[in-house]
Structure 1
Amino acid sequence: MDSSNNYWENFKSESISTQQIIQLACCEENQETYWDYVLILRMRGSNEELVEASKLCQSQSPKKRSLGVDILGELGIPQRTFLTQCGDILLNLLSNESDSNVLASIGFAFGHLNDARSVEPLVKLKNHPNVDVRMGVVSGLMSQSDELAIQALIDLSSDENEDIRNWATFSLGSQIETDTPAIRDALLTRIILETSEDETIAEIRGEALLGLALRKDERVISPLIAELESDCVGRLAVEAAKEIGDAKLYPALIKLQQWWDLDIKLLEEAISNCNSNSSI
């Protein structure tokens, strides 16, 4: 899409109809431009966009159904509109949908809607063979504190796909405040099993460290010291040290000052928290 302000404003205005933009989006192959169209429709956010998106969700075309879902997921942004109605339409679609792309879109849409009614139908898809669908499930269940949602996220934290493990661990670790032995054990398992220095694997381990630290679980101390003393220390490990504030981490943090410069203020806060708990 042309990035000029006049072109953009023209599309946001009523001079180009919602149906025209939908037709353009349906034919668009470039993903960036497609999402530009979706954003415009979301921002308009009126009853017209709700009705047209609902019609798309009833289409025989999976691409059109996905477009309808994408619009409904954040209809009205930044001032959300028709939240309940959007959830109703998506729940109805989810009950009969079989296309993987549409199922994935529904999961991501519910991640934006934060509709607790989606938990049970999404959980049924946690073992779906398509990775995008399972990622959508993680997104849809993120921030849900329902016991069923949490157990599904625990299961997905050991998924064969590392990106799914990453987002599921992030969801369990810091996106909910629920604290159970099952959550703690799932986080500890990720710390134990995610051992490589690959960027995504290291991030999974960091999210798990932070999740245990937030819950003040002392089992995090030994692996956190090892992480802080390694050659590749991520921001999450330092944040975990700050959160748990244990004096046993203090020496490793002081050594880290010699070279770690990703977030100097965070490191200073971690040192302060761990030093304040020291009996020295």
Structure 2
Amino acid sequence: MDDEVEAGAAGLFATVYGGDEDAVVRALRAGAPADGPDADGEGRTALYVASVSDEPGIVRLLLAAGADPDRLSGGTDLPLCGAACGGHTEVVRALLAAGARVDLREEFGFTAMAWALQRGRVEVVRALLDGGADPSLAGPGGLPLVAAARRGSTGCVRALLEHGARGRAEALREALAWCGVDVAAVLQEGLEQPGREAVTQRFAEDGGVTVVVELLDDEGRPTAGNDLQTGHAAIATLLEAELGIALPAADLAGRALRRGDPDDDDWTEAVAVLQRRGDEETFRSAAAWCAGDEALRRAFGADVLGQLGPRGAYAARSLPLLSALARTARDAAGLRSAVVALGHLGDPAALPEILLHAGHRDPRVRRAVALALTGLVPAGHEEGVAALVALAGDPDGDVRNWAAAGLASAPADTAGVRQALVALLDDPVADAAAEAARGLAVRHDPRAVDALARILAVEAPDGYAYETARDAVRHLPDARVRARLERTLPRCR
């Protein structure tokens, strides 16, 4: 490499490391090779550095300037693999769009999919599958479905199943082998060094819990670590359903209650399986759980009944059971599940029991009330409308969001309803603001226009707020305003 080219390459790398897109453009225009190796002699490429640093703008600039998306950095590492390992979905999509071979292997036989599964990167897995990755191509961790089951990532397993991944029986055996295992202990044993302190942390993510174990040096700094997700029970439930294995209802309830979190995949997957089963035995089991002494089991039974309820005869039989639970439950989990389940039944006869809890001290219960009232309050039901208006001013953002959705879809059109929606147009919760704008647009209220224009300009195009605003535009009566808003381009990155 001559001195001029070497200087150009050094300048380019400095700008890439600094994350300065404008400086990258200047370096490329000055003649720096987009695909040249770093001057430090290790052979790293600028594209790989930008990819692992999550710099999608710089990645696109380098690709446009001729960087090869499949060139190995340092002779061992692929940009796509580095981005996948780091969970950098936008970079992954940019590399694939530029022609990166999705199943290409780097050192030790790793593909981008193998890295994404090892780290539990759900959105990256979906991007790779959308880009044509083979869902059954084995990597160092075996078949992708088995690797995802071992990782404990329910989201990765779902994505692979949606794309027809093979190895379901093997993956089920892997998931069952991990059920009930102390993940923290296993991770610590794999890292353990005599005399070294280990710290364990737990984070709620991907519908479950991720356990992280780190070794510390004498000054308390992490020097090594590993992590694993804990969705193995939910994965087993998913795979059993795929394989036609009907676990007894009591066993599914046991899995759901293992962590006792109604938002956890262990819980929601068990409810989903029982809902699809939808038979008399399931109804009787859920009814018995609702009448039992264990608070969390009552909540689980209510969730199951709420999902069974819309199935004809089960609705009429579930209503008195859930109404009684809503009147008598004292724990937040039971109340929340009973209220949401009553909403799922879709019967306005449940309104008295739902409205009992509109002012509950626990925001999770108020959130459940707002959710249950959405689509349930009939025309002329003043108490239901008043409850939604009050919830629209709740200090909890999620409560306001659901109340906004309830008001937007309510048949009532009063000054009070419109004022409650107007008050939400600048809500810091973007979804709540979008629902409020939709509610005003449906009522042909011109105050919706500026809010819709702002949301369409600043919110992410793949987000709920943006999609809600896009849908709301069609309700505006002025054709010129509709045309303008339909052509509003997002200003977000």
Report the TM-score when normalising by structure 2: 0.45
**Residue of 219, 244, 250 corresponding to 1:19:** 250
**Residue of 193, 214, 217 corresponding to 2:442:** 214
- Say which SS state the counterpart of residue 308 (structure 2) adopts: coil
Larger-Rg structure: 2
Q: Structure 2: which 5+ residue stretches go unaligned? A: 1-232, 461-465
Q: Deviations over 1:4-55 (max 9, x none)?
A: 9873256653xx4333433443445582122222222222222222222111
Deviation at 1:109, TM superposition (A): 0.9
Aligned length: 249
**Residue of 407, 410, 434 corresponding to 1:172:** 407
Look up the equivalent residue of 2:253 and give its one-letter code. I
| Percentage identity across paired residues of the two chains | 25
State the match for 1:186 in structure 2: 420
Question: Highest relative contact order (Cα 8 Å, sep 6+), 1 or 2?
Answer: 1
1:109 maps to 2:341 = yes
- Say which SS state the counterpart of residue 82 (structure 1) adopts: helix
Please give the alpha-carbon distance, in whole angstroms, between the structure 2 residues aligned to 1:211 and 1:178. Answer: 11
Look up the equivalent residue of 2:249 and give its one-letter code. T
> Quick one: structure 1 residues 28 and 230, their matched pair in 2 at CA, closer, same or farther if it must change by over 3 Å?
closer
State the match for 2:398 in structure 1: 163
Please give the alpha-carbon distance, in whole angstroms, between the structure 2 residues aligned to 1:37 and 1:215. Answer: 40
Look up the equivalent residue of 1:170 and give its one-letter code. A
Moved more, 227-236 or 177-186: 227-236
Look up the equivalent residue of 1:218 and give its one-letter code. P
> Quick one: structure 1 residues 44 and 212, their matched pair in 2 at CA, closer, same or farther if it must change by over 3 Å?
same
Q: Deviations over 1:178-231 (max 9, x none)?
A: 32222112111222x52x5xxxx222222111111111123434x347637965
Please give the alpha-carbon distance, in whole angstroms, between the structure 2 residues aligned to 1:140 and 1:218. Answer: 29
Q: Deviations over 1:127-179 (max 9, x none)?
A: 11111101111111111223221111111011001111011101111x23332
Look up the equivalent residue of 1:176 and give its one-letter code. A
State the match for 1:269 in structure 2: none
8 Å contact kept, 2:458–2:491: no
Which one has the bigger strand percentage?
Answer: 2
8 Å contact kept, 1:169–1:187: yes
Q: How does 1:1-280 map to 2 (within 5 A)?
A: 1=233, 2=235, 7-9=240-242, 13=246, 16-27=247-258, 31-75=264-308, 79=311, 81-144=313-376, 145=378, 146-173=381-408, 175-191=409-425, 193-194=426-427, 196=428, 201-221=429-449, 223-224=450-451, 227=454, 231-232=458-459, 234-246=466-478, 249=481, 252-253=484-485, 256=488, 259-260=489-490
Deviation at 1:66, TM superposition (A): 0.8
Deviation at 1:88, TM superposition (A): 1.1
> Quick one: structure 1 residues 80 and 230, their matched pair in 2 at CA, closer, same or farther if it must change by over 3 Å?
same
Please give the alpha-carbon distance, in whole angstroms, between the structure 2 residues aligned to 1:228 and 1:55. Answer: 47
Deviation at 1:111, TM superposition (A): 2.2
State the match for 2:157 in structure 1: none
Deviation at 1:248, TM superposition (A): 6.2
Please give the alpha-carbon distance, in whole angstroms, between the structure 2 residues aligned to 1:254 and 1:21. Answer: 47
Please give the alpha-carbon distance, in whole angstroms, between the structure 2 residues aligned to 1:254 and 1:72. Answer: 42
> Quick one: structure 1 residues 172 and 32, their matched pair in 2 at CA, closer, same or farther if it must change by over 3 Å?
same
User: What RMSD over aligned residues (CA atoms) do the two structures have, in Å?
Assistant: 3.0
> Quick one: structure 1 residues 232 and 116, their matched pair in 2 at CA, closer, same or farther if it must change by over 3 Å?
closer
Which one has the bigger helix percentage?
Answer: 1
Report the TM-score when normalising by structure 1: 0.76
